[in-house]
Structure 1
Amino acid sequence: MKALLFIETDGEKALGGSLELISAAKALDAEGTAIIAGNRDIADTVADLGIPVIFTNTAADCDTLTEVLSQIVREQNPDIILLANTTLAKDIAPRIAGRIGLGCVSDVIGMSKTDDKVIYTRPAYGGTVLEQIEVDGTAVVTVRNGSYQKPEAASNAGVTEKEVEIPASVVKTKIINIVKEISESVNLEEAEVIVSGGRGMGNAENFKLVKELARVLGGVVGATRPAIEDGWISRAHQVGQSGKIVSPKLYIACGISGATQHTSGMSGSNYIVAINKDEDAPIFEIANLAIVGNATEILPIMIEEMKRVKSE
């Protein structure tokens, strides 16, 4: 099996979710080749992970990348094309599939091979069920961050530079300027520890406890939509269907009931701690550790205990 992996970057480094694709290809016993656009240094770094890299010095906008990947897919004729399930990839993947006439599966959390057929597992209906999909022929697949481990360093597999001609007609959108808010620096997708707060925190003052615990643990603050709509924190911190899909090593849910809209965005976490005063809260159904009690009383104790442990 031959796999092409699009390694997405932020201009300075490869995104963690993209690097996980190397492990995903290995899990399928696939012969993988990575594609990187724009930064040669990143290409060399990825090649050090033991996968050959095709590097092209082109722009990283959606129209250009769609054309670049489409051309390389036609040349390489792979059995599977893997992308991390990012905002950019969600735009690119279906466009490649439609342009070449391939199958497309999004938000995959697992892949298995049976009789030379790949079965893709993805959450459906807000994460309440898992569906398994089989695609005839080549498939373009986006993989949810955290579904696979990041690869370890290996011998350098080499970088091949490739010139790709981009017809002016394929670039429909021109980016004139980018304005970034400070809040955009929040990186929930790659965080290993997330402490999230919901409506059960009561008010903005109590929500500061969530921020403090995240700080002590070296984690990132998450939130449900009610907490954001009440103005306790910016929308960049939202986890769930209308926010970010996350899969940290540790997820602490504070005052969160466990509505499907939220849990569908964090159910892939390795270990979930839930704090809620309602012992029948749905969040407890997916929690590894359930703490029944008022989060505003429990969090100060946790914060002090974590500070004590870290000081030892």
Structure 2
Amino acid sequence: MTENPFGRMAHEQERRSGNRKSLQCSNILHALTVWKDGSGFDDLVSSLLDSVEETGAPKGECRREEDKERDPNIKQCLRKVRDGHFTAAVKVLCSSGVAPLGDSTLKALIDKHPVVPPPSSPSNPLAQPTLVVDGECVLKCIRSFPKGTSCGRDGMRAQHLLDAVGGEGSVTSSGLLASITEVVNLWLGGSCPKVLAEFVASAPLTPLLKPDKGIRPIAVGGIWRRLVSKVAMKKVGKEMTQYLGDYQFGVGVPNGAEAVIHSANRFLNSFHADGSLALLTVDFSNAFNMVDRTTFLHEVHQRCPSIYRWVQFLYAQPARLYVGNECIEATTGKLIHGGD
């Protein structure tokens, strides 16, 4: 039986992670013991300074230099393996990588996010009251995030929330979950100050290289934004699936896009011998970034009025997209948030 290399790597990573956590806990307890009531401050600082080598470089500096030189695809692959995402690990190894940050990359990203005037919002009243959810719904959405879900610019991960409302934090989980639910309903109700919208809707951009050397920007939004959006879609998803009917296979249809591709391939293969059939595929250039937000807001106002306040909060004003130390204002389109 052939040994699974990814399984061996994952086991090794788990073992190292367990050892690392044990060492961290031990170091924290030691630091608290030295600190005492504050009288051991000098001793604690001295012990930390003693951990620095005579060259001035902290221990492990050489290892970090090696990590910098390592292929970023390999580093990302190892992270995916550590999280148990073996399919994603293979995709990472086969990808073209990330475009180097520079003037040309920044220009390409700016060109993909054209600046337009603010969208106009509908003036007529909402046909339904704003969506209000309970803690059970919020908890299910927190648990629905895949393991290893990436964080936004603030560093908050779904796993942080999951750990806080379960496991060792379960003693205070009911109160915390109630507070999280209140915040979610505050956002759904449009009660959050609009001045914060550009930050809540912000995301760092990762410029991936296409096979043709073009740029594919991937935005990884904050967990709070993604959590509220998950809650909203959970409540209106079935309704939208019925409305869209058989005209699409993306919303509310698990593996719908994959089913379309496989069905088309099987159909074409049946006519492959005589060459009597051809298939034309259309790829819209920069499609999601060219979505008109005025139309988008009006459609949500009409078809999904219960979540309109949240959608308006995100898309009625520009959002900040961070590229290194630069910031691009997104005034068009519907951002695709990666990391899930």
TM range (shorter): under 0.3
User: Larger relative CO (CA 8 A, sep 6+): 1 or 2?
Assistant: 2
Bigger Rg over Cα: 2
Q: Larger strand proportion, structure 1 or 2?
A: 1
Q: In proportion to residue count, which structure has more helix?
A: 2
